[in-house]
Amino acid sequence: MVEVKLGAATATRVEESYEPNFDAKVFFPDWTAEIVREHGSWLSPNHYDEASGWLKLSIHSWLLKLGGKTILIDTCVGNHKSRKHRPKWDMMNTPYLDRLKAAGVTPDQVDMVMCTHLHVDHVGWNTRLENGRWVPTFKNARYVWSQEDFDFYQALDSDPQKGPANGGSFRDSVLPVVEMGKVQMVKGGAEIEDGLKVTPAPGHTPGTVRIELESKGQKALFCGDILHHAVQVYHPEWNSFACLDQDNARKSRRAAIEHCAGSGAMLLPCHFGAPFHCHIDHRKDPKGGAGFAPRFADNF
């Protein structure tokens, strides 16, 4: 189990799945064989499966302990949910809650759930199936996400031609929490707790946020899908197929990378392969310009 100490806070990775799960050329339109040759020393086996040509992406939450609060950041895909658009995620049955317990927390002990955005693989464990109904998994928690994302996907979900939104996850993983009155929707930036704030980072979705932590002089940035894969540190201009607003996604990605490189903040993504988190350093790119590189946690 990966545990990261950040001043007086700790962040523990809670895994749902970790496997080759997307064709690299489909996921990143800019992907080429040259990328594999250039970055092969670190891509395989933790970030790329060369035999299949698929990216090896993790899907996990970060369990944050801060100031006596227990905070869960992004909640993966979830169990028993119909996701026909993504067969690997359809009707999943993983021991996610057992892994959460192994990290020392039961669902009832979670004080806050934060979603960087409302895509299917970031909201799934917001709810669980109980007596045929979707109910909040974390019944004592306050759920925090952006008003912009909620408004966008609510309109999409209500459109008979476009709904249900996000493969059905808006209906089974978002609305039940709203209906129970457990959500704090944030518009723009906001300080959520002492040392913990959200900053707008639109592009991947309209209301994507990055979550910034500072504790005793140490900093971290939880990036959700602002970056999916470590190769994007080298190529901030790369968008995935799932980025809705391509221009703003690039701007938000570069801003997050520059924030980490300039401040020393640890980057804690939701999908990077092992060791799952990194610092970001400035570097000269092969053409002599300014660029960035990940410095993985096991190389400190």
List Cα–Cα distances, 124 to 51, 61, 121, 147, 176, in angstroms: 30, 11, 6, 18, 12
What is the per-residue DSSP string for 39-100? HHHHHTTTTEETTTTEEEEEEEEEEEEETTEEEEE--BS-SS---TTSGGGTT----HHHHH
State the pLDDT at residue 92. 97
CATH classification at residue 131: 3.60.15.10
State the pLDDT at residue 287. 67
State the pLDDT at residue 38. 94
The secondary element (H helix, E strand) that includes residue 19 is strand 9-23
List Cα–Cα distances, 255 to 32, 33, 212, 214, 259, in angstroms: 25, 28, 13, 18, 6
State the pLDDT at residue 29. 97
pLDDT tens readout for residues 187-215: 999 999 999 999 999 999 999 999 999 99
State the pLDDT at residue 284. 77
Residue 206 lies in domain: 3-299
- In total, how many domains does the chain have? 1
pLDDT along the chain (300 residues), means of 10: 96 98 97 96 96 98 98 98 96 98 98 98 98 97 98 97 96 98 97 97 98 98 98 98 98 98 98 97 78 79
Averaged pLDDT of the chain: 96
Length of the chain equals: 300
- Among residues 210, 216, 237, 230, which one has the least CA distance to residue 280? 230
